[in-house]
C-alpha cells in the first residue's frame, strides 16, 4: 500500500480556509461572530470535504447550494472550490443559523473572505419551492439538512427540479437509515447514477452483524423471481449494496431530463 502523505486540508486553495478548518478539526472548537468559543458540534470530516472539493474542481460547476450550514465546514469548502470561477455563487439554507448555530457558519465564510455566498435563513420546505418557482438552476447541491426521510426526500424533490443535466448531487450521512432509504429511491431514477462515495471506516459491530444478515437475505432473494422477492422483501435486501449502505457521503450525477411517467413507482 502506498503511504498517504497528504497534509490535512491541503486541498483548499485559500490559506485562511485551510487554517480555519484545520484549527477547528484539531481543537474541536469554533468561534461565533461575537468571539464566543463553542464546541464544534457538526461538520463534514476532512476526507468528506476533500471528496466534495475534488468533485467540484473536476467539473464545470459554478452555481451551488447546500441544505444545512451549521458551523460552515462544508460551506467554506464549497466556497473555496468555486472561488475564481466567473459568475460562481453558493447558497446555504439553514433556518437555525442565527439560533442554535449562533451564526458561526456564516461568520466562518466571512472570516475566509469569500463574497460569493448567500445565507438563506429559512425552512427548506419554504425556500426550495420558491427558488424552483423562480427558475433557479444548479450545478451542484449538498443535502445535509433535517434527516427524517420525508424532509430529505422533499429537499431532493425540489433540488431535482433545479439541478442541470450533468449536475452533481451529494447526500451526507448516507448510512443513516432514513437518508439511505432516500438514496435507494434516487438510485432508481432513470436520470441519476452514483458516481462516488466516501466509505465509513471502521464498520461498527452492529453494522457488521446487519451486513452479514443482509448478505444472506440478498443471496436468498436472488434465487427467487424478481416479482416474488420484491413483494416479500425490502429493497435494502433485494438491492443490497455494501458500499452504499456503509458510506458517509454518496454522490450522484444527473444524466438527463426527468421523464418518469405518471405511474412510476420503483421498489426501494
Q: Is residue 134 part of a domain?
A: yes
- pLDDT score of 124: 95
Q: Is residue 108 part of a domain?
A: yes
Q: How many Å apart are CA 201 and CA 31, to the nearest integer?
A: 29
Name which of 225, 258, 218 is nearest 241 in CA terms.
Answer: 218
Residue 154 is part of which domain span?
Answer: 15-200+243-254
Residues 169-192 have pLDDT tens digits of 999 999 888 999 999 999 999 999
Residues 156/143, Cβ–Cβ less than 8 Å? yes
- pLDDT score of 135: 96
Looking at the structure of the chain, the number of domains it has is 1
- pLDDT score of 1: 32
- pLDDT score of 233: 67
- pLDDT score of 203: 66
Q: Is residue 125 part of a domain?
A: yes
Predicted TM-score (pTM) of this structure: 0.87
Q: How far is CA 199 from CA 53, 144, 159, 175, 183, in A?
A: 16, 17, 24, 10, 15
Q: Is residue 220 part of a domain?
A: no
Q: How many Å apart are CA 216 and CA 110, to the nearest integer?
A: 51
- pLDDT score of 264: 85
Q: Is residue 135 part of a domain?
A: yes
Pairing of strands 247-254, 192-199: antiparallel
Residue 117: give its domain's CATH number.
3.40.50.150
Positions in the chain short of pLDDT 50: 1-4
24, three cell numbers: 477547528
Q: Is residue 76 part of a domain?
A: yes
The rounded Cα 219 to chain-centroid distance in angstroms is: 30
- pLDDT score of 2: 39
List CB contacts of 96: < 8 A, sequence separation 6 or more: none
Amino acid at each position: 500500500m502506498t503511504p498517504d502523505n497528504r497534509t490535512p486540508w491541503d486541498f483548499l486553495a485559500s490559506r485562511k480556509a485551510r487554517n480555519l478548518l484545520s484549527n477547528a478539526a484539531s481543537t474541536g472548537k469554533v468561534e461565533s461572530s461575537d468571539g464566543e468559543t463553542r464546541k464544534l458540534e457538526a461538520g463534514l470530516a476532512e476526507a468528506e470535504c476533500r471528496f466534495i472539493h475534488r468533485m467540484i474542481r473536476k467539473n464545470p460547476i459554478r452555481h451551488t447550494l447546500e441544505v444545512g450550514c451549521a458551523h460552515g465546514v462544508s460551506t467554506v469548502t464549497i466556497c473555496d472550490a468555486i472561488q475564481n470561477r466567473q459568475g460562481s455563487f453558493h447558497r446555504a439554507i439553514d433556518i437555525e443559523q442565527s439560533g442554535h448555530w449562533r451564526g458561526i457558519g456564516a461568520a466562518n465564510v466571512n472570516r475566509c473572505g469569500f463574497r460569493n455566498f448567500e445565507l438563506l435563513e429559512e425552512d427548506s420546505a419554504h425556500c426550495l419551492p420558491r427558488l424552483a418557482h423562480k427558475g433557479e438552476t444548479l450545478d451542484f447541491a449538498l443535502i445535509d439538512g433535517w434527516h427524517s426521510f420525508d424532509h430529505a426526500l422533499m429537499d431532493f424533490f425540489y433540488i431535482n427540479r433545479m439541478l442541470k443535466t450533468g449536475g452533481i448531487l451529494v447526500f451526507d450521512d448516507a448510512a443513516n437509515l432514513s437518508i439511505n432509504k432516500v438514496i435507494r429511491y434516487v438510485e432508481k431514477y432513470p436520470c441519476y447514477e452514483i458516481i462516488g462515495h466516501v466509505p465509513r471506516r471502521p464498520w461498527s459491530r452492529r453494522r457488521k452483524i446487519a451486513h452479514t444478515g443482509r448478505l444472506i437475505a440478498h443471496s436468498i432473494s436472488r434465487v427467487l423471481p424478481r416479482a416474488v422477492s420484491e413483494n416479500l422483501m425490502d429493497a435494502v435486501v433485494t438491492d443490497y449494496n455494501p458500499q452504499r449502505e456503509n458510506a458517509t457521503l454518496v454522490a450522484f450525477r444527473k444524466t438527463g431530463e426527468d421523464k418518469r411517467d405518471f405511474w412510476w413507482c420503483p421498489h426501494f
